[in-house]
Amino acid sequence: MRTLGKVYLIGAGPGAQDLMTLRGARLLAAADVVLHDALVTEDMLALCPQAKKIAVGKRCGQRSTAQHFINKQLIDCAHKYALVVRLKGGDPMLFGRADEELSALEAAGIDVEVVPGITTALAAAAASKQPLTKRGVARSVAFFTSATAPEEAASSGVPDSDTLVQYMGGREAIATAQALLAQGRSPALPVIVLENVSRPEQRELRMCLADLARGLDAAHGPVLVMIGESLRARPQQQSSATQHAPQRRHA
């Protein structure tokens, strides 16, 4: 009877190849097959030229591979290959539906290991040089998303936290800003919108909560929105940074 292979759920990080962990890169270089997300870059896949590559990406609002089919592919691959990699954008354990894949693999008796990655929020804070916490200003951070699967009910709740980081921001972030204003949050609350974090085409927009509530310009890549007083530009940043006036687009 053939021995089952081992599956690794690996975080690819926010996008830049050199922001992946050394452990993740080492496993990619040894992988027999790699099942990868849509947001995983070609540079990242260049780390595993020897591996068979299977695209199983999910993009919000676009046709994507059903999760139950991804689970089946992982199990099938573990029956054929010794080292199977499931390569996920960011960190596998945050908005990555890892629980479903782990549950399916464990139920099938397949050995699985998780290799963490840098989640986009932390890369965004580094790119903008704005800490998500700040002594005397912000001591809590919430990562959240309003995006849901078709079978799930949408949630309009906004977490109660000093700093908010909304993944898959886009139109959903406009609704978040409107909800925060309705709750009495200051219209001048700082907001940073980042598109394609850590990639060469990265774009950063700084605005206030009132600006965000009125709309955002069209994006061509994944968008992350950070909201909170800890994101207020320091004096040196205010004097040197170029401020962007977003083109308005309503939800």
Q: Is 168 a catalytic residue?
A: yes
CATH dotted code for 120-240:
3.30.950.10
Q: Is 37 a catalytic residue?
A: yes
DSSP lists the bridge partners of residue 113 as: 8
Give pLDDT, residue 52. 98
Q: Which of 20, 44, 168, 207 is catalytic?
A: 168
* pTM attached to this predicted model: 0.86
Q: Which of 20, 37, 88, 211 is catalytic?
A: 37
3-state secondary structure labels for all residues of the chain: CCCCCEEEEEECECCCHHHCCHHHHHHHHHCCEEEECCCCCHHHHCCCCCCEEEECCCCCCCCCCCHHHHHHHHHHHHHHCCEEEEEECECCCCCCCHHHHHHHHHHCCCCEEEECCCCHHHHHHHHHCCCCCECCCECCEEEECCCCCCCCCCCCCCCCCCEEEEECCHHHHHHHHHHHHHCCCCCCCEEEEEECCCCCCCEEEEEEHHHHHHCCCCCCCCEEEEECHHHCCCHHHHHHCCCCCCCCCCC
Give pLDDT, residue 250. 40
Contact predicate 57/69, CB 8 Å: no
Give pLDDT, residue 153. 46
Give pLDDT, residue 63. 52
For the chain, residues classed under CATH 3.30.950.10 are: 120-240
Q: How far apart are CA 87 and CA 171, in angstroms?
A: 27
Block means of pLDDT (10 residues each) for the chain, 251 residues, are 89 96 98 95 96 82 75 98 97 95 98 98 97 97 77 66 94 93 97 95 96 89 95 80 42 38
Q: Which of 44, 58, 88, 207 is catalytic?
A: 58
Domain 6-115 = CATH 3.40.630.10:
no
For the chain, residues classed under CATH 3.40.1010.10 are: 6-115
Within 8 A by CB and 6+ apart from 32, the residues are 5, 51, 52, 81, 82, 83, 84
